[in-house]
Amino acid sequence: MGYHDLRFDQGEGLNRQGLADRIVKGEVFVFRNALQHFGLYDLWRDAALRGIAKSVGQAAADRAMSDGFHRIHEWVAAGDIPKMTDAVYAEIEPTAQAFLDRFMSGAFPGVTTFYYERTPNVRFHIPYDIAQAHKKAFNDFAKGHGQGKIAAHGPHRDSWLDCPSNGLNLWFAMGRIGPGNGMTIFPDDYGGEFRFKRSGDIADAQKLHRTWTFDLEPGDVLMFHTDHVHGSILNRTDETRFAISCRLAVERPVFPQLHFHDYVHSGWNRSSVLRPLAGVPAKLQMSFLRSLAVRTRNKVMPSLALGDPEAGPAEAIGRRTDRGFEVALADVPVGAVRGVSAALCVARLDETRVVALTRRCPHAGGDLANGWVDGDSVVCPWHNLPYDAETGASPCKSLPKLKRVACAIEGDLIVIEPGRVLNAEDDSETAEFLAAADARPAAAPSPAG
């Protein structure tokens, strides 16, 4: 398994025979400038501009055309992003077959038919500091469209979300996208076993490893297996991320969980006779009948619906002392973060520096003890959000800082003093924090959202 760039100016990189099989086996590809090469970028750009014009006005569409989609939050009010995204959905869906036919024939030689999710996923992520004031409207939008469209999605596999386990995820950059506002893939967690919630997000108390992030220009395509653990970066930049993604399967899709999304047989959809039945071939399997039965039961008898898995035990290393906590230095390797209490984690920045910080991310309750160190930052694994280890601040100014407490290396021990808060700003909050910091966790708490 690895990550590869495909470029038209590199002949060897253009050998795409067997590409679909390599992706399903875990390899990740970025196909640079693919949409322009196949003459497809303008098709979806123009469809998006029509949706923008119809929903928020021609002036906004003109600015998007002239200045770029990455600046759209500068002239479209945050509260209008849901209706704008809906309008772009309406323009994109009718083009999906023609778009994917041309893309697949060019990018995947020999693939003539495939099953694709009828509705592509339109993703506008404006800067979090602007979006957070409209959290309810954005959450309401997610109820109809699923997570990850206009707000960050936690780590998940698509097969946990009514999607096939043998699929390709094609993620088309419509605007420029950087490591601070794109998406992440967890390569070292490919094939690992995880508990997950009904929402499809990974359950709490699951250790994750470092992510891959991607610099993408308009027209670049990120391609990966739907069963890679992946998720959104909480947009910490001053630019909007605009991407459109499609899930498809070269063979008949396999649904290990529920089977809800409508997958269209591309060959049948090309036929004027068979087009009305193009969604049938993917449903001719027991997973569809099983899913239908489960959904019917849950609707008629909601008390029988399965809940989220029980929270697993939260990590708590070291021992309680009169001073606070003592942790063996060897138990915290360089670059690692470990939990020491219900509210505290300890991170080792390098051979000589350690810090103890609030354990739960204030954005959505992610457990930083399951994250990692990146330079002088501690990274929340749920949405790849870094916190400065010295100040406790993240790049998102609307989020509170993590509290930092006294922590030092003494011989072969790390000594943590939760009673000595180094960056206190509010005495009442500090008192509440200290009570939680002393508690040893019995089980992982429910995340905030």
Per-residue pLDDT tens digits for 157-168:
999 988 999 999
Tell me the two tokens of residue 171: 């993620």
What's the pLDDT score for residue 12? 43
pLDDT for 11 beyond 70: no
pLDDT band at 441 (very low <50, low <70, confident <90, very high): low
Query: Tokens 């809906």 sit at which residue?
Result: 86
pLDDT for 120 beyond 60: yes
Q: In sequence order, which residues have a C-beta less than 8 Å from that of residue 130 and are 6 or more positions away?
A: 73, 78
For 396, half-sphere exposure in the C-beta direction (CA atoms, 13 angstrom radius) is 27
What's the pLDDT score for residue 431? 60
The proportion of the chain whose per-residue pLDDT surpasses 90, expressed as a percent, equals 76
d(CA 326, CA 333): 15
What mean pLDDT value characterizes the chain? 91
What's the pLDDT score for residue 430? 62
d(CA 245, CA 172): 6
Q: Residue 160's closest CA among 203, 124, 131? A: 203
pLDDT for 1 beyond 80: no
For the chain, the domains span 3-304, 319-438
pLDDT digits (tens, 9 = 90+) for 374-418: 999 999 999 999 999 999 999 999 999 999 999 999 999 999 999
pLDDT for 278 beyond 70: yes
What's the pLDDT score for residue 433? 66
Instruction: Name the more confident of 438 and 245.
Output: 245
pLDDT digits (tens, 9 = 90+) for 42-54: 999 999 999 999 9
pLDDT band at 301 (very low <50, low <70, confident <90, very high): confident
pLDDT digits (tens, 9 = 90+) for 342-381: 899 999 999 999 999 999 999 999 999 999 999 999 999 9
pLDDT digits (tens, 9 = 90+) for 165-220: 999 999 999 999 998 999 999 999 999 999 998 888 899 888 999 999 999 999 99
CA distances from 285 to 159, 288, 289 (A): 16, 6, 7
The proportion of the chain whose per-residue pLDDT surpasses 70, expressed as a percent, equals 92
pLDDT digits (tens, 9 = 90+) for 240-266: 999 999 999 999 999 998 898 899 999
Class of 3-304 per CATH?
mainly beta
Phi, psi at residue 363, to the nearest 5°?
A: -75, -55
d(CA 319, CA 129): 39
d(CA 29, CA 345): 35
What is the reported pTM? 0.92
Q: Residue 343's closest CA among 403, 393, 389, 422? A: 403
Residue range 319-438, CATH number: 2.102.10.10
pLDDT band at 446 (very low <50, low <70, confident <90, very high): very low
What's the pLDDT score for residue 310? 74
> Which of 47-51, 300-304, 336-340 bottoms out in mean pLDDT, i.e. has the lowest?
300-304
- Does the fold of domain 319-438 match that of domain 3-304? no
pLDDT digits (tens, 9 = 90+) for 68-99: 999 999 999 999 999 999 999 999 999 999 99
d(CA 57, CA 51): 9
d(CA 403, CA 422): 7
Query: Tokens 């991170």 sit at which residue?
Result: 347
d(CA 299, CA 310): 23
Give the 3-state DSSP-derived string for the chain, with helices as H, strands as E and coil as C.
Answer: CCEEEECCCCHHHHCCCCHHHHHHCCCEEEECCHHHHCCCHHHHHHHHHHHHHHHHCHHHHHHHHHHCHHHHHHCCCHHHHHHHHHHHHHHHHHHHHHHHHHHHHHHCCCCCCCEEECCCEEEEECCHHHHHHHHHHHHHHHHHHCCCCCCCCCCECHHHCCCCCCCEEEEEECCCECCCCCEEECHHHCCCCCCECCCCCECCCCCCCCCECCCECCCCEEEEECCCCEEECCCCCCCCEEEEEEEEECCCCCCCCCCCCCEEEHHHHHCCCCHHHCCCHHHCCHHHHHHHHHHHHHHHCHHHCCCCCCCCCCCCCCEECCCCEEEEHHHCCCCEEEECCCCEEEEECCCCCEEEEECECCCCCCEHHHCEEECCEEEECCCCEEEECCCCCCCCCCCCCCCEEEEEEECCEEEEEEEEECCCCCHHHHHHHHHHHHCCCCCCCCCCC
Query: Tokens 């501690």 sit at which residue?
Result: 378
Q: Please check whether residue 114 is in contact with residue 266, taking contact to mean a CB–CB distance below 8 angstroms.
A: yes
Per-residue pLDDT, averaged over 221-232, amounts to 97
> Which of 291-295, 384-388, 437-441 bottoms out in mean pLDDT, i.e. has the lowest?
437-441
